[in-house]
Amino acid sequence: MTQQLGLFNHFTHKANLKQTRYGWLRLTPAYSVHLVEDILDDALSGDAIVLDPFCGTGTTALVCAERGIPCTTTDINPFLLWLTATKTQSYSTKDLTDFMSASEKVIDSVTHNTVNEIWTPPIHQLEKWWDHETLHTLGNIMHVIHDMKDTYSSKTLDILKIAFCRVLIIHSSASFNHQSMSFKKHTNRSIFDKAVDNIKITWEAAVESIYDAAHTEIRTQPGVHLCDAKQLSALLPHNHYTHVITSPPYPNRMSYIRELRPYMYWLGYLKDGREAGELDWQAIGGTWGIATSNTGKWSPPTTRPIPYAQFPEILGGIATKSDILSRYVHKYFYDMVDHISELLVVTKSGGSINYIVGNSKFYDIIIPTEEVFAALFKASGFVDINIKPIRKRTSKKELYEYIVSARKV
């Protein structure tokens, strides 16, 4: 398998960093543009209509938009929908000229400290994320952007906010490289090392990169909709989509809110921790804040078992270490059963399914996510089910990423 997986090294988020708009904002839940392109090359015909029910960073939607392929993408997280819509938007010469003009005003304000007020978000323990000087400069920038709402179009302001998101995360003290978020300790700056100077450099680099990429052609605007993946048929047309290409939350991800919090608070998509927990509870595979206590109280209906023979054994093994994690894994796949049954309604007869998933490990228990998904598709009535390994995911030798494919009869 190692030799085979070596062929797919470009199927990671790293392949997106220099790919036009794909690298506008780096988020952990991202898969490679090359992977989507290869699936499209292998599967699509002239009358293709694509669905991505877990839009994430908008990779599937953007590939389709650039190729002129009709696509609908949905998510339960409004920030991810905003990011996808912004990345797949067509920008006129005026939009981009205004973007450069607005960004210069931001730099002028920051350099000369002409704003008497700053705007900062209600993030718990805000001082852990940014030191005082950095926070003041970021708050200055956001106040300027807010003041521009009557001067520039929403398109211009949206890409300005992309630049802001790039800057705020680069200068954050948070580390997202582990399930338990950690923070670097603030260090005292020298008199020659000012936050405003560092942020100015980062801002100018982000603006230049975004400006260049925003000139790329968008041939077809995707549909971007707020929708629970467990209720697709309530919003989307039935028997309609010829191809589904997506990457759902992985069982070990636990929470996307955790890593999206700084963006969502700064851009106004969250107001407090309870809102974050409520959104995570509604999502598949979320347990942040109140979602954790809700998971601890959740029990599945006994009349709807997960159709995978080894599933009770997996849950039992996890439960010996943690009852709440066992319930979390159970609810994750229970929600996926509902999602896949909805998928059957909106997919066209003969339509293909391509799910990019990763297996997971809780303690010493491996969850073969790819096999469970294959079993769920089969139980729902899909046929021609196939599991294809893509790549090794982390330093842990047991963890891999796969494409699980299927077809609706």
Q: Is the pLDDT of residue 158 over 50?
A: yes
Is the torsion defined by CA of 408, 39, 335, 327 positive or negative?
Answer: positive
Contact 61, 52 (CB under 8 A): yes
pLDDT attached to residue 201? 94
Burial zone of 403 (CB within 10 Å; 0-12 exposed, 13-18 middle, 19+ buried) = buried
Give me the chain's average pLDDT, please.
89
Taking only the tens place, the pLDDT of each residue in 177-228 is 555 567 777 666 655 568 889 999 999 999 999 999 999 999 999 999 999 9
Domain boundary among 189, 213, 237: 213
* 107 and 52 fall within a common domain: no
Confidence class for position 2, pLDDT limits 50, 70, 90: very low
Tokens of 135: 């926070």
Cα(332)–Cα(342) distance, integer angstroms: 16
Cα(15)–Cα(34) distance, integer angstroms: 7
Taking only the tens place, the pLDDT of each residue in 279-316 is 999 999 888 888 889 999 999 888 889 999 999 999 99
pLDDT attached to residue 285? 84
* 184 and 67 fall within a common domain: no
* 165 and 69 fall within a common domain: no
* 31 and 115 fall within a common domain: no
Structural domain for 390, as ranges? 2-90+218-407
Cα(233)–Cα(339) distance, integer angstroms: 10
Q: Which residue has the higher pLDDT, 3 or 190?
A: 190
Question: What is the residue whose two structure tokens read 């009770």?
Answer: 312
Domain count, the chain: 2
* 57 and 138 fall within a common domain: no
pLDDT attached to residue 118? 84
* 274 and 392 fall within a common domain: yes
Is the torsion defined by CA of 289, 292, 295, 296 positive or negative?
Answer: negative
Domain boundary among 213, 247, 273: 213
* 261 and 379 fall within a common domain: yes
pTM for the whole structure: 0.91
* 308 and 223 fall within a common domain: yes
DSSP β-bridge partners for residue 160:
none
Confidence class for position 3, pLDDT limits 50, 70, 90: very low
Domain boundary among 145, 178, 213: 213
* 300 and 399 fall within a common domain: yes
* 60 and 167 fall within a common domain: no
* 52 and 82 fall within a common domain: yes
Ramachandran quadrant class, 326 (left: phi over 0; alpha: psi -120 to 50; beta: rest): alpha
Contact 377, 328 (CB under 8 A): no
384 backbone dihedrals φ, ψ, rounded to 5°: 50, 45
Cα(408)–Cα(324) distance, integer angstroms: 35
Taking only the tens place, the pLDDT of each residue in 103-135 is 999 999 888 876 677 889 999 889 899 998 899
CATH code for the domain of 250: 3.40.50.150
Tokens of 345: 């309604």
* 331 and 372 fall within a common domain: yes
